[in-house]
């Protein structure tokens, strides 16, 4: 890799390894094992494997390594470890580094499975997690005391799109020697500069924008070479959450078009947010890339753009939200995000259904909230589809509100 290459060039060429055939498109090494030339060679590889030497696909594989090297180069991280899913990355990174008696400080607005890992799993092993409002620096300051081992948050929260100030929280954490792990899914590698902003570890669910076409699960942990190879790799390779070579190939090819897709999605999100301003069915449109968002300035500084997801809060509660999503002709009702297809989700009845009502309210997950993950379709078509569907929700008043 040339040090001067831009992210977009790294995304196409970074990490490429070619076999003796010189194939242009990256090969899928669909093999769990590797044959050695001699018993001595096998012995030597088990003592220390070189950069292009592999032992077993749970430990590493050429296609998986291409994906890891490419995304590390895009993110500006020293190294990366690819995992079977985003949750294998979150749980792996945390469990690999924490031990009984450790204290974690985390933002309250977390993906349900991340909350389960911290509270239920790590809690059972004697790791204590303190939760704070991620947008309130005073709460972070108070909670991050000496003895805090790790700080964990989603840089943009799901589904209400609040932004955590990476630079400010990292400063507080580093002052007490805590490791900062950022779940950066909503920013995607395209709008991320998290390592430069101070994050020690960056985590992606590759299932989202990196595949971006709804085909495969995957995840990745990025950090220093020391952290990835000495802390993460031993844990992951012995506990089994590694990425399959086939999925690594999908993700590797996904990286080539990631910038184009994610920027097109952000263009569409901004176009839709502008077009729906003042619509009579809406209480508000939440989009961090629009001036109406309370943290628009922080978003611009931290991510450059507002990302690919927006949220509508409809006046008529759940009935209006359902009328809106049911009336869409392009937007599909599902629960993935970052996809080439526009996807709408009603968090209160699906992804966040199990949260008690008071927790939903505290997180802003109201009956009228709809999350919209913008796809790469034509912007005019999407604006038209959103407006006609919002028109169907005008004047509805839900008896449940
Ligand atoms: C989807 C998601 C995950 C989990 O990723 P999977 O690939 O589904 O395991 C973790 N964190 C956030 C913020 C997500 O959106």
User: What is the layout of strands, in order, in the sheet containing 369-373?
Assistant: 282-286, 309-314, 369-373, 343-345, 332-333
Report CA Rg, the chain. Answer: 22
Spatial CA neighbour of 209 closest among 162, 259, 249, 160: 259
Ligand 1: residue whose CA is nearest its atom 7: 86
111 Cβ inside 6 Å of ligand 1: yes
User: What is 41-66 written as a DSSP string?
Assistant: HHHHHHH---TT--SBTTT--HHHHH
Domains of the chain with CATH codes: 7-254 (3.40.640.10), 259-394 (3.90.1150.10)
328 with 389: CB under 8 angstroms?
A: yes
The secondary element (H helix, E strand) that includes residue 380 is: helix 379-392
Position 327 scores a pLDDT of 97
367 with 398: CB under 8 angstroms?
A: yes
CA of 4 to the centre of ligand 1 (A): 32
205 Cβ inside 6 Å of ligand 1: yes
The neighbour count for residue 11, using CB atoms within 10 Å, is 23
The minimum-distance atom of ligand 1 relative to the CA of 219 is 7
- State the Cα–Cα distance between residues 209 and 217, nearest whole angstrom: 11
211 Cβ inside 6 Å of ligand 1: no
Spatial CA neighbour of 325 closest among 304, 348, 303: 348
Position 318 scores a pLDDT of 96
**Residues of the chain whose pLDDT is less than 70?**
1, 398-401
User: What is 100-164 written as a DSSP string?
Assistant: TT-EEEEESS--HHHHHIIIIIIHHTT-EEEEE-TT-HHHHHHH--TTEEEEEEESB-TTT--B-
383 with 390: CB under 8 angstroms?
A: no
- Structure tokens given for 72: 């590390």
Beta bridge partners of 220: 82, 204
User: What is 311-339 written as a DSSP string?
Assistant: EEEETTHHHHHHHHHHH-SSSEE-S--S-
- State the Cα–Cα distance between residues 76 and 196, nearest whole angstrom: 8
Q: Rounded to an integer, what is the distance from CA 108 to the centroid of its chain?
A: 16
Q: Is the dihedral of CA 256, 257, 259, 262 positive or negative?
A: negative
87 Cβ inside 6 Å of ligand 1: yes
Give me the count of residues in the chain.
401
86 Cβ inside 6 Å of ligand 1: yes
- State the Cα–Cα distance between residues 288 and 291, nearest whole angstrom: 8
Position 384 scores a pLDDT of 98
Position 395 scores a pLDDT of 82
- State the Cα–Cα distance between residues 18 and 21, nearest whole angstrom: 7
336 with 210: CB under 8 angstroms?
A: no
93 Cβ inside 6 Å of ligand 1: no
The minimum-distance atom of ligand 1 relative to the CA of 207 is 7
The secondary element (H helix, E strand) that includes residue 240 is: none
CA of 156 to the centre of ligand 1 (A): 13
308 Cβ inside 6 Å of ligand 1: no
321 with 367: CB under 8 angstroms?
A: yes
- State the Cα–Cα distance between residues 310 and 330, nearest whole angstrom: 16
* b/e 59-81 (16+ beta carbons within 10 angstroms → b): ebbbbbbbbbbbbbbbbbbebbb
């Amino acid at each position: 890799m040339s040090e001067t290459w831009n992210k977009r060039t790294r995304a196409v060429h970074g990490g490429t390894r070619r076999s003796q055939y010189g194939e242009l498109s990256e090969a899928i090494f669909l093999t769990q094992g590797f044959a050695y030339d001699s018993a001595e060679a096998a012995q030597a590889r088990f003592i220390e494997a070189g950069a292009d030497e592999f032992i077993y696909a749970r430990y590493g594989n050429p296609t998986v390594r291409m994906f890891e090297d490419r995304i590390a180069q895009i993110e500006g991280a020293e190294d990366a470890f690819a995992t079977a899913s985003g949750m294998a990355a979150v749980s792996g990174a945390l469990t690999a580094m924490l031990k009984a008696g450790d204290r974690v400080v985390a933002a309250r607005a977390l993906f349900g499975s991340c909350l389960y890992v911290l509270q239920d799993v790590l809690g059972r092993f004697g790791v204590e997690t303190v939760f704070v409002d991620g947008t309130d620096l005073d709460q972070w300051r108070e909670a991050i005391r000496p003895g805090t081992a790790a700080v964990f948050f989603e840089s943009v929260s799901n589904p209400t799109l609040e932004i955590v100030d990476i630079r400010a929280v990292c400063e507080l954490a580093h002052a007490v020697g805590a490791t900062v792990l950022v779940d950066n899914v909503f920013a995607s590698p395209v709008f991320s500069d998290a390592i430069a902003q101070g994050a020690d570890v960056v985590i992606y669910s590759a299932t989202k924008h990196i595949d971006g076409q709804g085909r495969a699960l995957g995840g990745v942990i990025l950090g220093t070479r020391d952290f990835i190879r000495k802390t993460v790799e031993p844990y992951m390779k012995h506990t089994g959450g590694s990425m399959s070579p086939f999925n690594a190939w999908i993700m590797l090819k996904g990286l080539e078009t990631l910038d184009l897709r994610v920027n097109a999605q952000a263009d569409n999100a901004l176009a839709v947010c502008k077009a729906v301003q003042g619509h009579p069915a809406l209480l508000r449109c939440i989009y961090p890339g629009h001036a109406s968002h309370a943290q628009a300035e922080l978003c611009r500084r931290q991510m450059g753009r507002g990302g690919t997801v927006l949220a509508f809060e409809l006046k008529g509660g759940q009935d209006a939200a359902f009328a809106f999503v049911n009336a869409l002709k392009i937007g599909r009702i599902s629960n993935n995000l970052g996809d080439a297809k526009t996807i709408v989700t009603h968090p209160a009845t699906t992804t966040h259904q199990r949260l008690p009502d008071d927790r939903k309210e505290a997180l802003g997950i109201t009956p009228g909230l709809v999350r919209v993950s913008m796809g790469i379709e034509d912007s005019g078509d999407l604006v038209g589809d959103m407006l006609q569907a919002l028109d169907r929700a005008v004047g509805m008043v839900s008896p449940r509100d």
